[in-house]
Structures are given as structure tokens and as C-alpha cells.
Chains A and B, each alone.
Chain A
Amino acid sequence: MIETLEQPRLVIHGRKVVGGVAEGEALVTRDTISGWGGIDSATGTVIESRHELKGVSFAGKILVFPGAKGSSGWSNAFHMARLRGTAPLAMVFNVMTTKIALGAVVMRVPTVTDCDADPLDHIRTGDWVRVDGDAGTIAIWDRRPG
């Protein structure tokens, strides 16, 4: 774990979906994400027409989004992303579904939901975020702490 000396701007508390700790740059969207037919697993890129992240890669990012939608191939598409090395580092989401629960489990990335403050209102793309899945906490900095 990286030592962070600066105090975070905010710490949000939620519930563990998948344990573990990861930190990195946030990628935030208010659009739900489709797995099969919605992402390209080889590049970790959103491909859905009219999606606000169309053409943007979530590989190595802390993905902050409302939740999953679409085909039952959601977990499979994100599991393939894990095999390709293009999965997000961690996930924070609002709406629990079987698609996202299973997807988070098989991606094996720290994941938190049921937050006490809406992460979509408090996390911006580019923020530095640490997700502690076991503690269910999300710490947010304006930038990567020096």
C-alpha cells in the first residue's frame, strides 16, 4: 500500500463487495455500463454508441459508475478484461445487480457499494482515490498525494 501523507478531501463509507485495497486515478460516469456488446475486453474500452465514455479505457482506473446493465455476459466480458490485463483497478457503484456482483468477484478487484454519500456527486474523473474493500471505505484526494 502506498503511504499517503496528505489528508483526503473526503472519505466515503460503504459496504464491501470484494475485499482488497487499490488506489489510482478515478474514471467517473453517470451512465450505466454494458458488458457484452458494451466494452471491448481486449483494450478495456467502452464501445457503446451514445455512452459518455465511448472510446475511453477504464484499464488501470478506479471505475466509479451507477452500475451494470445489458446482457448476462457482463461478468464474462469483464472477466476477459482481467485476463487481458485491462480490468479496472477497483470499482465503486450504486445499484446492486447480479451482473455487477459476479463481475466484481471474478475480476477480483476491490469493490464498494451502498455508500453513505453518492460517489457520483463526490468523485470527479482524475481524482486520486483509494478503495479499501475490506473496510468499505473510499478516500478521495484532488490529486495524487506527494
Chain B
Amino acid sequence: MVALTREEQAMLDGESGAAIAKAMDLLVRYADALGAERFVETNNVAGVPGSSPQWVKDHYAADGGDYRAVFSRYDLDSDDVVDVPRMNAFSCHLQGGMDPELWREQGMSEAAHANFVSDEAEVAGHGIQTLKTCTPYLAGNMPVMGEHCAWMESSAVVFANSVVGARTNCEGRESTSAAMLAKRIPDWGFHRDDFRLGQHSVDVRMPVDSVFEWGMLGYFVGDAVQDTIPVITGDISDANLIRHKHFGAAAASSGGVEMYHMVGITPEAPSVEAAFGGAAKGERFVYDAAARARVYETLNSVGSSTDVDYVMLGCPHYSIEQIAQAAALIEGRKVHENSALWIFTSRAVKAEADASGYARILRSAGALLMTDTCSAISQAVPKGTRVAALDSAKQVHYLPAMLGIEGLYGTTAECIDAACTGKWQGRLA
């Protein structure tokens, strides 16, 4: 049984109100399920609090079918409906279901949009930042080393743990909603020093020096180590935010990696010894030319057509640097009449893209710059899409399987060429 401080017991007993009592009740059940012995305090929570499609609201029609009913009964898994106050922790809403302006282009109905607007007003009204992105660290929530967070979104979790040295498990909707109220999360997993040590080695014997290459290495690593912690050494260079973002998202998708160590690159891996912390070293995997070719083949295995009718960029949500690159690649060209180009980012980065002129360049080329969501989250693609080209190993892992379409993986430049010609000419150099 999880041990409670006096303050936590008081919250559970209802001294801070019914909603916080329900939040603590759920967190206690969750901590006991994990086998956690105590809670840590957190003031950095990212989730999808209270947002729900209409059918979930209808499911709770007897309770009023509103945000309050959904937050109580679903997010807090409470048997009673309670008044939901403003959140106590610094709280952010991750990605949502549609673009706030281009939702018609995404094929959303008036009713679904009205539901989205209503949920968003509730989210903002409860003191939750409407970052609406899978990359909160690019949109106003950058944690620091050692900070205890409670985040959802596997690509953001692996970034926070590995690149920043912040501490978060891969939380879920209900635990993050409860943590927003109670400012507590079970002291288990990545909150604890011993859990953060490396378990297996990956020796990189091919130069990995671009977003495209980092993405493929990430996909290989996840497939190799599954949900354990890899310690990666060898020929990796030119680390930057975008590369880590794509590497982590890929490793979290193919395997379930929630933290990785790159020796000499990530903050908890100054050396191989430090990364393993003296613990036993597990298996050793080698990433060489043959392994790289196999990954490329896997990522391009769904389908055979080279007629690309959709190009999606922005998984995880594009940074301003990536939008600048995309604008440079497409300036003076046009998206082909048989194709479409949608680029996804956060609202904060889109505002910067507008101010910097990139949004105008993309618009004149016929591309759409969208926020909040992506094609996998919203299951929205241009009507009639059969073949999608993607520069994200994560997105090519999910999107074809979810929508029954063909998928192609390549560099950003190859994807933009495909958007402008309607033809795929990507290849493994």
C-alpha cells in the first residue's frame, strides 16, 4: 500500500474538496497497482484533460453529458459527479482532434467542431494551457533536469527523460488529469534513479548524421530493445533538437522506448559506465549497413505504388527550423494537382511561422499549415488518399495501418519533391 503524507491523506479525506479527493482516490489505486511506495510532487503535467468526442458525453447523459460529467466519471474514474475546480499544477493540453481553422479541409463535421470549441473553452476555463501539441517542449513547456513531470505522449516522454533529464513515466489520460488537481504522481519507474540506468547496448557502425538517418536508427533501436533502456555508442553525430525528436518518436513507436542514453550526447550518459551505473550489461545490438537497409525496407513495405497523393510532414509537430526548411524547399514551386501537402505544428510555432513569412510561402505553394493534431490522431487525410509520403518513421509506423493506405518513408526533400510532382522518387543513398 502506498504511504501517504499527512497532506495527501487530508486530500484523500476531502479536506481540499471533492474533486481533489476523487483525484487522490484514483492516484492511490494506480500507485497500489504499480506497487509504488509513495508519491512524488509534480508541478508539470501534460495530458488531454476532459476532451472527448460526443459519444463519450452521450454515454454520461444521465450525469448531464457535459465536461464536468466526463472529467468526473471518465478522467477521474469517479462513481460520483463532482464540481471540477481550476487545476492546481502547471497543466498543458497535448494534441487535440482538429485544426481550429482548417477543420473543414480535414473533413470534420459542424457538430464535431462545435464539440471541439466547447471542450476547448472548458480546458482554458480550468486553467489548463491549450498548447495543443505533441511537442510541449517547443511550445512553452520545457522541463529541466531532474524535474518530476507527469506527461502523456510517448514521443514527448522519451524526449523529456533522455534529452532533458527530466523525470516522467509514460502517463495516461486519467493519471494526468488526476495529477493536474492533486499535484502528485506515483514515485515509480523513471522518477527513481535506479530505473534510469541502461539495460542493453547498441553499437552504431553507420554514419548517422541527418534527421532521416536518426529516424531510421530510432526505429531500429526500438525494435531491438523493445521497452528497455538502450545505451547507444558509435558513429552518431550532429545532434540537435529535431534529430532527437525524430529518433525518440521512432524508438517509442517500434518498441516502446521511454528513455535512451547516447554516450557523450545525452545528459545522464557522460560515459558507458555512467549510463549503465555499474549494472549488468544486457544484449548488444549492431546497427550497420545491412541493418539500416532492413529498416528502410520495413518502413517502405506497405504498398507498391509510387503515385503519391498525400504528403504529411510534422510528426512529431514541426519545429520552426523544420518549417523554415520546408519553406525553403518549396519556395517557387507548387503542390501537384494530384497531390496534397499538409504540415502539422503547434499553435505557438505556427504564430512564429506566420511572423517569419514561412506560412505565406507554404500557402502560395498550395501547402496547408495546420495545428493541434495530425493525420493519425484525427484520422484525417485529404479525401481519396491512397498513398502517403512521410518523413517520420513514427507516422509511417501508424498511419498506413490505421487508415488502410500505403506509406512511403523518405527525407523531407524527397517528400516535398513528391508533393510537387505527384511521384515518389525516394531511395536509400
User: Which residues of A approach B to under 8 Å, CB–CB?
Assistant: 15, 17-18, 32, 37, 47-49, 69-76, 79-80, 83, 95-99, 101-106, 108, 111
The stretch of B102-110, B170-178, B274-282, B414-422 in contact with A is: B170-178
Q: For the complex, what is the distance from the CA of A49 to the CA of B227, rounded to whole Å?
A: 19
Which of A37, A76, A111 lies in contact with B172, CB distance below 8 A? Answer: A76
**Contact yes or no, A102 B59, CB < 8 A:** no
Interface of A is mostly: mixed
In the complex formed, the residue of B with least CB distance to A95 is: B227
In the complex formed, the residue of A with least CB distance to B29 is: A105
Q: For the complex, what is the distance from the CA of A101 to the CA of B33, rounded to whole Å?
A: 5
Other CB < 8 Å A-B pairs besides A75-B173, A95-B227, A102-B172, 14 of them? Answer: A18-B33, A37-B376, A37-B401, A69-B226, A75-B175, A96-B34, A97-B227, A98-B171, A98-B188, A98-B189, A105-B77, A105-B174, A106-B26, A108-B77
**B residues near A99, Cβ cutoff 8 Å:** 170, 172
**B residues near A102, Cβ cutoff 8 Å:** 30, 33, 171-172, 174-175
**A residues near B169, Cβ cutoff 8 Å:** 98
Q: For the complex, what is the distance from the CA of A103 to the CA of B175, rounded to whole Å?
A: 10
User: Which residues of B approach A to under 8 Å, CB–CB?
Assistant: 26, 29-30, 33-35, 48, 56, 59, 74, 77, 151-154, 157, 169-175, 188-189, 226-227, 253, 255-256, 376, 398, 401-402
**B residues near A95, Cβ cutoff 8 Å:** 227
**Contact yes or no, B34 A83, CB < 8 A:** no
Given contacts A37-B401, A49-B401, A105-B30, contact A73 B172 (CB under 8 A): yes
In the complex formed, the residue of A with least CB distance to B94 is: A72
Q: For the complex, what is the distance from the CA of A117 to the CA of B195, rounded to whole Å?
A: 25
Given contacts A48-B401, A49-B401, A69-B226, contact A74 B33 (CB under 8 A): no
Q: For the complex, what is the distance from the CA of A120 to the CA of B59, rounded to whole Å?
A: 36
**A residues near B151, Cβ cutoff 8 Å:** 72
Q: For the complex, what is the distance from the CA of A27 to the CA of B154, rounded to whole Å?
A: 28
**Contact yes or no, B174 A70, CB < 8 A:** no
Q: How far is the CB of B399 from chain A (nearest CB, A)?
A: 10
In the complex formed, the residue of A with least CB distance to B176 is: A72
Which of B33, B74, B152, B376 lies in contact with A72, CB distance below 8 A? Answer: B152
**Contact yes or no, A79 B175, CB < 8 A:** no
List 6 A-B pairs, minimum CB-CB distance, nearest first. A75-B172, A101-B33, A72-B152, A98-B169, A69-B256, A102-B172
Q: How far is the CB of B258 from chain A (nearest CB, A)?
A: 9
**A residues near B227, Cβ cutoff 8 Å:** 69, 95, 97
**B residues near A111, Cβ cutoff 8 Å:** 33
**Contact yes or no, A103 B172, CB < 8 A:** yes
In the complex formed, the residue of A with least CB distance to B59 is: A83
Q: For the complex, what is the distance from the CA of A27 to the CA of B255, rounded to whole Å?
A: 23
Given contacts A69-B227, A72-B154, contact A98 B175 (CB under 8 A): yes
**Contact yes or no, A15 B35, CB < 8 A:** yes
Given contacts A48-B401, A98-B169, A104-B33, contact A75 B256 (CB under 8 A): no
Q: For the complex, what is the distance from the CA of A103 to the CA of B29, rounded to whole Å?
A: 11
Q: For the complex, what is the distance from the CA of A41 to the CA of B227, rounded to whole Å?
A: 23
Q: For the complex, what is the distance from the CA of A18 to the CA of B169, rounded to whole Å?
A: 20
Q: How far is the CB of A55 from chain B (nearest CB, A)?
A: 13
In the complex formed, the residue of B with least CB distance to A100 is: B33
Q: For the complex, what is the distance from the CA of A97 to the CA of B48, rounded to whole Å?
A: 20
**A residues near B74, Cβ cutoff 8 Å:** 79, 83
23 chain-A/chain-B pairs, Cβ below 8 angstroms: A15-B35, A18-B33, A37-B398, A49-B401, A69-B255, A69-B256, A72-B171, A73-B172, A75-B174, A76-B173, A83-B74, A96-B34, A97-B170, A98-B169, A98-B170, A98-B175, A99-B172, A102-B30, A102-B174, A102-B175, A105-B30, A105-B77, A106-B174
**A residues near B33, Cβ cutoff 8 Å:** 17-18, 101-102, 104-105, 111
Which of B34, B77, B253 lies in contact with A101, CB distance below 8 A? Answer: B34
Q: For the complex, what is the distance from the CA of A79 to the CA of B60, rounded to whole Å?
A: 14
Q: How far is the CB of B78 from chain A (nearest CB, A)?
A: 11
Q: For the complex, what is the distance from the CA of A96 to the CA of B171, rounded to whole Å?
A: 13
Q: Which of A17, A37, A95, A96 has the most CB of B within 10 A?
A: A37
**A residues near B56, Cβ cutoff 8 Å:** 80, 83
Q: For the complex, what is the distance from the CA of A83 to the CA of B376, rounded to whole Å?
A: 23
Q: How far is the CB of B256 from chain A (nearest CB, A)?
A: 4
**Contact yes or no, A70 B256, CB < 8 A:** yes
**Contact yes or no, A37 B29, CB < 8 A:** no
In the complex formed, the residue of B with least CB distance to A75 is: B172
